[in-house]
Amino acid sequence: MKPMVTIDTNCLIAVEEKRAEADAISQLMESHREGQILLQIVAIAASENQPSGTSNPRFSEFQNRLKRIDMDGIRVLKPIAHWGVTYWDWALWSDAKMLKLEQDIHNILFPAQPFGQEEFIARERERVGETVGAPRIESKWRNHLCDVLTIWGHIWYGGNFFVTSDGNFHKVTKKAQLVALGAGQIVRPLEMAAMIWPNQDLC
């Protein structure tokens, strides 16, 4: 069975901005087309905050984004539905098992932060004062939720390799706990490329 490789939003940004790891990520897409791996991304990537500070109003904008960077053939996984965050037809109704996994992941990635949106906003406003507006705090909560649901989707669908440059996923204690939940291997883009093409220089 071909390995299931999940990339995150940072990988898309790397390709768009032609960062050092862009070629490695594009090669992963090519291996997906050739049938060597199953490359996937969680649909929650469409809900990530954009440079404008807002999220995409329509999922089709995310699909167009994938086309622009020649990744429109990637498998898209549905996350748990969250009102006002996920998109109709691109999210799953949840059950107790799904929600427990989500909560467990949140507790690993953001142990000091409340899980719920209202509690998070209230805590942050108390911490930083009223000078910081609710939209800015809500944006921070959304980013945390997107991180949680990204690796939630990877684990829930049985992914083998989770590819990200986000340092929070690579912290030793956090990585070990995520692996224990079923994350398989958590690697950086160039590390993933080296596993597939050990004789190529993609740096």
- Structural domain spans, the chain: 4-197
pLDDT, mean of residues 66-87: 96
Residues 136, 137, 143, 145, CA torsion sign: negative
Mean pLDDT for the stretch of residues 157-173: 98
When pLDDT is averaged across residues 177-183 and rounded to a whole number, the result is: 98
Q: 24-38, 43-57, 138-152 — which is least confidently predicted?
A: 43-57
Place of tokens 């190529």: 200
**What's the rounded Cα separation, in Å, for the pair 17 and 20?**
9
Is pLDDT above 70 for 132? no
User: Around Cβ 171, how many Cβ atoms within 10 Å?
Assistant: 14
Read off the pLDDT of each residue in 174-200 and give the average, rounded to a whole number.
93
Q: Which residues of 103-118 are buried (b: 16+ CB within 10 A; e: fewer)?
A: ebbbebbbeeebeebe
Is 60 exceeded by the pLDDT of residue 43?
A: yes
Lowest average pLDDT, out of 74-88, 104-118, 169-183, 188-202, goes to: 188-202
Tell me the average pLDDT across 93-118: 93
The pLDDT mean for the chain works out to 90
Give the per-residue pLDDT at 161. 99
Averaged pLDDT for residues 150-157: 99
Per-residue pLDDT band for 128 (boundaries 50, 70, 90) equals low
Q: Are 142 and 120 in contact (CB under 8 A)?
A: no
Higher local confidence (pLDDT), 134 or 105: 105
4-197 placed in CATH 1.10.20: no
